[in-house]
């Protein structure tokens, strides 16, 4: 059976020693009283909930899955899920980062992000039920009317009601401009909505009394394509004027998807049969509200893979220390045993360190993005808000795609450490790999994220935002350029930073002549950019560790951070050279393939 220990010390290192989040948070009026001890205490308790309540239900929930009553359309979650959710809301976890005016605790986003990393390590399928509510909450908080906020946000804040996002339809996934769901205006200002949605995570379940669906649909006179989509609130049960629940609305689950992973989460085929909804925002401007939810969800999906990377690493490490197999190539290490623990073998260590490095880098990026989100929404300086929003827009597709791709690499590497036992369900490793696989697909496939990064976020503004991130690297290079001990961490990012300008210009020029060049280069480009971002954070982590050691700190924690950074730059970061070469190879070898694909 797998185990899980919340990585609190690693979180504290990134938050307090590398990124100094409290210093930044105290510049925001609502967080002037926040301190290190408060953040640490909340996350310590959150870790207990994740490890002691959510984690024990992970394998059993995967085995049992969800079930549907085809007569009533009611969906039942696995045993223990509903009770765990009750503990979650009773302890106030649902309200952690929500606004106090709606009953929330108003804690920083970064605290919620690290709490959710632990929940995702413990049980991604369960965590998706409350997790999706945060995105729906954000969309309503930003675009909802005062009446809509008063009706829905207090219940979503408390966790009494959950939320879902209803986008995909059987004939269209990412291309929402093809959507057919219709919304007919009614005399009372509401809309009757009819259509079918698929792949709706947590679209129906038995954990709460009501589900607040955010639904995309078309008005009768809507223009074609993406510019003709509106956003609606469609509750599972109507809400009376006094806040009590009324009659059942015309939205129900027509069936459950049979999936590769996340079996404990209800992935629903939703039927809207004259369901009554109210519009969020302006007619035909629904994507503005939905993008708020989708961007929050994209950061959340990256966090899902970070959680799975961490828990897979922990279990593979423990197994590698205990499992004996053959002797070390450099001589016997465990003379009292008939064979050496497999952790002595170089390739086993490489797989373990790959997972560890991708967990450490991913955590740094998640903390950084959480702080950008905080500044964008709450910083008193308008320029700081604008700069934070611009940088977050650049990093969001990287946080989603790079972290989930890395999660795929890491969970499969950790499964491989177990050998044949990794393929067996009782060890939990195959579930981590299966559960992670969806993270590369939903909330916009990783190819879509790559096109968004290269086409919109980089080439769309002539690389201006990318240059701003480059200035962060340049500042660090200038600060540590003469420090010989930092050279192995600084030189790679300095070189790549210079290469990125030429690389981006070259891809952009080719794309101007032939758009397929952007499509052919985008996935490789995002991965290069991801390594550039990770390299920056690993250099900063190494900087802190070296300073601690120079000050006489002998804690092996800092030695471990340096070893991880060295491994990353030696074994993972060099992938950028190959990626730039394949991106530069252009689109011809991909597109001139009609005979091969006939």
Each residue of 476-511: pLDDT tens digit? Answer: 999 998 999 999 999 999 999 999 999 999 999 999
Q: Which CATH architecture has domain 8-143?
A: Orthogonal Bundle (1.10)
Which two tokens mark 481? 């350029």
State what percent of residues in the chain have pLDDT above 90. 96
How far, in Å, CA of 361 to CA of 268, rounded? 34
Q: Which of 409, 426, 408, 407 is nearest to 319 (CA)?
A: 426
pLDDT band, very low/low/confident/very high, at 173 (cuts 50, 70, 90): confident
State what percent of residues in the chain have pLDDT above 70. 100
pLDDT value for 222? 96
Q: What is the mean pLDDT of residues 53-79?
A: 98
pLDDT band, very low/low/confident/very high, at 542 (cuts 50, 70, 90): very high
Q: Which of 167, 180, 175 is nearest to 232 (CA)?
A: 167
HSE-CB at 218 with a 13 A cutoff on CA atoms is 19
> Residue 197 pairs with which residues in a beta bridge?
270
132, 298 contact by CB (below 8 A): no
| The CATH fold of domain 162-291 | Butyryl-CoA Dehydrogenase, subunit A; domain 2 (2.40.110)
Helix-, strand-, coil-residue percentages of the chain, each rounded to 5: 65, 10, 25
Domain boundaries, the chain: 8-143, 162-291, 303-308+359-584
How far, in Å, CA of 408 to CA of 415, rounded? 11
Q: What is the mean pLDDT of residues 148-156?
A: 98
pLDDT value for 174? 80
pLDDT value for 478? 96
pLDDT band, very low/low/confident/very high, at 317 (cuts 50, 70, 90): very high
pLDDT band, very low/low/confident/very high, at 303 (cuts 50, 70, 90): very high
**Residue 383 contacts by C-beta under 8 Å, 6 or more apart in sequence?**
none
- Asked if residue 292 has pLDDT above 90, the reply is no
pLDDT, tens digit (0-9, with 9 covering 90-100), for 368-413: 999 999 999 999 999 999 999 999 999 999 999 999 999 999 999 9
pLDDT value for 399? 98
HSE-CB at 266 with a 13 A cutoff on CA atoms is 30
- Asked if residue 295 has pLDDT above 90, the reply is no
pLDDT value for 515? 96
Q: What is the mean pLDDT of residues 169-176?
A: 87
How far, in Å, CA of 59 to CA of 430, rounded? 11
pLDDT band, very low/low/confident/very high, at 183 (cuts 50, 70, 90): very high
CA distances from 290 to 39, 465, 514, 532 (A): 30, 24, 31, 30
pLDDT value for 158? 98
Please say if 443 is a catalytic residue. Answer: yes
pLDDT value for 48? 98
- Asked if residue 293 has pLDDT above 90, the reply is no
**Residue 166 contacts by C-beta under 8 Å, 6 or more apart in sequence?**
197, 200, 203, 213, 214, 215, 216, 234, 270, 272
- C-alpha angle with apex 280: 276 to 286, nearest 5 degrees? 105
- Asked if residue 253 has pLDDT above 90, the reply is yes
pLDDT, tens digit (0-9, with 9 covering 90-100), for 418-454: 999 999 999 999 999 999 999 999 999 999 999 999 9
- Asked if residue 180 has pLDDT above 90, the reply is yes
Q: What is the mean pLDDT of residues 331-360?
A: 97
The per-residue pLDDT of the chain, averaged, comes to: 97
Which two tokens mark 496? 């790549």
The yes-or-no answer to whether 8-143 and 162-291 have a common fold is no
- Asked if residue 177 has pLDDT above 90, the reply is no
Q: Which of the residues 443, 480, 517, 548 is marked catalytic?
A: 443
pLDDT value for 481? 84
For residues 421-457, b (16+ Cβ closer than 10 Å) or e, as one string?
ebeeeebbbbbbbbbbbbbbbbbbbbbbbbbbbbbeb
């Amino acid at each position: 059976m797998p185990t899980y220990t919340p990585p609190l010390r690693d979180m504290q290192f990134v938050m307090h020693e590398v990124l100094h989040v409290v210093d930044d948070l105290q510049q925001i009026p609502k967080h002037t009283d926040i301190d290190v001890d408060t953040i640490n205490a909340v996350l310590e308790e959150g870790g207990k909930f994740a490890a002691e309540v959510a984690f024990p239900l992970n394998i059993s929930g995967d085995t049992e899955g969800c079930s549907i009553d085809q007569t009533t359309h009611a969906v039942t979650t696995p045993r223990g899920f509903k009770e765990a959710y009750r503990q979650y809301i009773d302890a106030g976890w649902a309200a952690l980062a929500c606004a106090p005016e709606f009953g929330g605790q108003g804690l920083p986003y970064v605290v919620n992000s690290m709490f959710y990393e632990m929940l995702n390590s413990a049980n991604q399928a369960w965590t998706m039920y409350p997790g999706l509510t945060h995105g729906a909450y954000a969309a309503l908080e930003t675009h909802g009317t005062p009446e809509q906020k008063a009706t829905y946000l207090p219940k979503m804040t408390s966790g009494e009601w959950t939320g879902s996002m209803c986008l995909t339809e059987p004939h269209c996934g990412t291309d929402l401009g093809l959507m057919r769901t219709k919304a007919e205006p009614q005399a009372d200002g509401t809309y009757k909505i009819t259509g079918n949605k698929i792949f709706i995570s947590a679209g129906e379940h038995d954990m709460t009394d009501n589900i607040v669906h955010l639904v995309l649909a078309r008005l009768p006179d809507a223009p074609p394509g993406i510019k003709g989509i509106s956003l609606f609130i469609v509750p599972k049960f109507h809400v009376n004027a006094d806040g009590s629940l009324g009659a059942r609305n015309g939205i129900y689950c027509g069936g459950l998807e049979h999936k590769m992973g996340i079996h404990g989460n209800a992935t629903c085929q939703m039927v809207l049969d004259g369901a009554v909804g109210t519009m969020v925002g302006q007619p035909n401007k629904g994507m503005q509200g939905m993008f708020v939810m989708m961007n929050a969800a994209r950061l959340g999906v990256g966090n899902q893979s970070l959680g799975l990377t961490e828990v897979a690493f922990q279990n593979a490490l423990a197994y590698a220390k205990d499992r004996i197999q053959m002797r070390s190539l450099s001589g016997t290490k465990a003379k009292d045993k008939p064979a050496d623990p497999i952790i002595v073998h170089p390739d086993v260590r490489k797989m373990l360190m790959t997972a560890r490095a991708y967990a450490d880098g991913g955590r740094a990026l998640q903390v950084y993005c959480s702080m950008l989100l905080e500044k964008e929404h709450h910083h008193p300086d308008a320029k700081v808000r604008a700069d934070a929003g611009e940088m977050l827009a650049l990093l969001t597709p990287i946080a989603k795609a790079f972290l989930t791709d890395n999660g795929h690499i890491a969970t499969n590497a950790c499964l491989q450490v177990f050998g044949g036992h990794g393929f067996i369900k009782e060890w939990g490793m195959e579930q981590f790999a299966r559960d992670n696989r969806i993270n590369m697909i939903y909330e916009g496939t990783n190819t879509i994220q790559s096109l968004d990064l290269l086409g919109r976020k980089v080439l769309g503004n002539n690389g201006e935002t990318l240059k701003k991130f480059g200035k962060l690297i340049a500042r660090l290079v200038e600060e540590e350029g003469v420090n010989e001990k930092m050279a192995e961490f600084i030189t790679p990012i300095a070189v790549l930073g210079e290469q990125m300008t030429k690389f981006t210009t070259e891809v952009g020029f080719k794309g101007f002549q032939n758009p397929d060049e952007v499509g052919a280069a985008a996935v490789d480009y995002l991965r290069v950019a991801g390594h550039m971002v990770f390299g920056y954070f690993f250099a900063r982590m190494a900087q802190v560790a070296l300073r601690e050691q120079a000050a006489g700190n002998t804690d092996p924690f800092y030695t471990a951070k340096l070893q991880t950074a060295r491994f990353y730059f030696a074994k993972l970061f060099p992938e950028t050279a190959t990626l730039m070469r394949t991106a530069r190879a252009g689109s011809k070898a991909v597109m001139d393939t009609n005979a091969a694909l006939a």
